Amino acid sequence: MTDRFYGIFDPLSESTDYIAKCANCIDNQAQCCYELPTPEQLPGLVNKSPGKILKKSYFIRCNSCGQTGLACKKNWQAVIEWNKSPLSQKFPYQQFPIFGLRQLTKFEAKEKLVEIRQDLESRKKQKIAQKERLYNDHYERLKAFLAWTIYAQTIVKLTPDLAESEQAAHE
């Protein structure tokens, strides 16, 4: 599955290689941790009383400044949550580490990611419809690739067009 449109990348084992740098720090000191989270790290409407935090979770922590990302069940989820948060530095889609976007125009990158997302969503629906075991590595990999695709689409959307960048440089 890892060579279907996406290049050679295993989001279950390699996501921690792609932790974005901390927005507050010059050095890349952010790393994935597996510890008890603080109430502030719990997403959504979870009961955040300290007595209810019983499970260790994955999250990203900057060792330089101490900022932490949201607590997640999986390490790949923690990386994506950190990378898309205001706590991390953003970069142009051409520097996105997967999906082979480096040489593509913004339009081509959008098109490629739409195709990948449609493929992943249809495969995920197919797995659910077939009532296959949904808690195995293959299904988990589908979910992880889908999350990375959605994150990549956000990066492409936020990257200024080349024409906009050139116009801003001349002003």
Low-confidence ranges of the chain (pLDDT < 50): 1-3, 45, 164, 166-170
Report the alpha-carbon distance of residue 65 to residue 21 in Å, rounded. Answer: 12
| Exposure on the CB side of residue 21, measured as CA atoms within 13 A | 9
Query: What is the C-alpha to C-alpha distance for residues 84 and 104, in angstroms, rounded to an integer?
Result: 22
Instruction: Quote the pLDDT of residue 137.
Output: 82
d(CA 62, CA 169): 33
pLDDT attached to residue 171: 52
* Placement of tokens 């970069």 in the chain: 91
Rounded CA separation 19/88 (Å)? 9
Give the three-class secondary structure for 22: strand
In this prediction, residue 111 carries a pLDDT of 95
Q: What is the pLDDT of residue 120?
A: 92
pLDDT of residue 52: 60
According to DSSP, residue 37 is labeled P
What is the rounded CA–CA span in Å between residue 171 and residue 168?
5
Model pLDDT, residue 5:
56
| Res 170: pLDDT | 45
Q: What pTM did the predictor assign?
A: 0.82
